[in-house]
Amino acid sequence: MSKRDNKTWMKDLRAGATQRDMALADLHALLLRALPQGISTWLSPENPEFESLIEDAAQETLLRALDGLDSFEGRSQFTTWAYKIAVRVALNELRRRRWRDVSLDGLEDAAADDSAPRQFASSDLPPESVIERADLLRLVQQILAEELTERQRAAMNAIHVQGVPMEEVARRMGTNRNALYKLMHDARLRLKKRLEREGLEPQELLDMFSRE
């Protein structure tokens, strides 16, 4: 296998069939060698699906790399850029396989429900000076109910409590991971600001709730 710098990779991959095929074969060999080291923590090399996953991911990476050559800006090694594609392809496939048969109650239903959060009368809020732990908990629960939509609540529950990957949650909610992250960020910011208005700090709340 010949050593290539970024310029040579680009030149070879854009060249005629023979030169391009040789470069693709070299990249394929590099992927087959490196990818197992990248994903063996998530899928054991002993697993019967391991080899086919690596091979499929390598093939898919070659296609995507060729397709996206123009987006490579040379800010990293070309191989690192290609490995980045391989990682996403392989982990997305693993996520899909791992979660495909798992039912996530409420996620699909909540996907369509982005209506305004429930409203509570603010007069229910106890004065800060007399808030005891139970009252504080009730207050935070109330704030969550008021500030989070059903869609945000379902997503947070799936990601934070059930440990479902964002990619899978996004797929089931009919959106994509990027949009889901923004949805979650908006929700977190909104909650943080509301807590601030109520004079509450997330870390102080955690400290108080963790006391025995």
Partner 1 sequence: MPTNNKIMKSIFDWFNRRFKKWYQPDAMMVKLLQSLTMTEEREISCDDVYAVLDQFTEAVLRGENVLLLMPLVRQHLDMCPDCRAEYEALLGMLQPAAYLAGATNL
From the list 4-12, 102-110, 115-123, 130-138, the region that binds partner 1 by CB under 8 A is 130-138
Q: Counting contacts by CB under 8 A, is residue 35 touching partner 1?
A: yes
Q: Express the helix, strand and coil content of the chain in percent, nearest 5 each.
A: 70, 0, 30
- Do the Cβ atoms of 190 and 158 come closer than 8 Å? no
From the list 13-21, 58-66, 118-126, 165-173, the region that binds partner 1 by CB under 8 A is 165-173
Among 10, 11, 38, 64, binds partner 1 (CB under 8 A): 38
- Do the Cβ atoms of 93 and 53 come closer than 8 Å? yes
Looking at residue 71, what DSSP letter applies? G
- The span from the CA of 90 to the CA of 67, in Å, is 18
> Is the dihedral angle over the CA atoms 64, 67, 72, 78 positive or is it negative?
positive
Burial grade of 205 (CB within 10 A; 0-12, 13-18, 19 or more): middle
Q: Counting contacts by CB under 8 A, is residue 39 touching partner 1?
A: yes
Q: Counting contacts by CB under 8 A, is residue 81 touching partner 1?
A: yes
From the list 11-19, 44-52, 60-68, 129-137, the region that binds partner 1 by CB under 8 A is 129-137
Instruction: Indicate the residue among 8 and 19 with the shorter CB distance to partner 1.
Output: 8
Looking at residue 52, what DSSP letter applies? H
Q: C-beta of 78: minimal distance to partner 1 in Å?
A: 9
Instruction: Indicate the residue among 88 and 172 with the shorter CB distance to partner 1.
Output: 88
**Those residues with Cβ within 8 angstroms of residue 51's Cβ, 6 or more apart along the chain or in another chain:** none
CA angle 45, 31, 35 (to 5 degrees): 35
From the list 11-19, 72-80, 105-113, 115-123, the region that binds partner 1 by CB under 8 A is 72-80
Q: Contact positions toward partner 1, by CB under 8 A? A: 34-35, 37-42, 75-77, 80-81, 83-84, 86-88, 90-91, 94-95, 98, 133-134, 137, 140-141, 144, 156-157, 159-161, 163, 165-167, 177-178, 181-182, 185, 188-189, 191-192, 195, 202-203, 205-206, 209
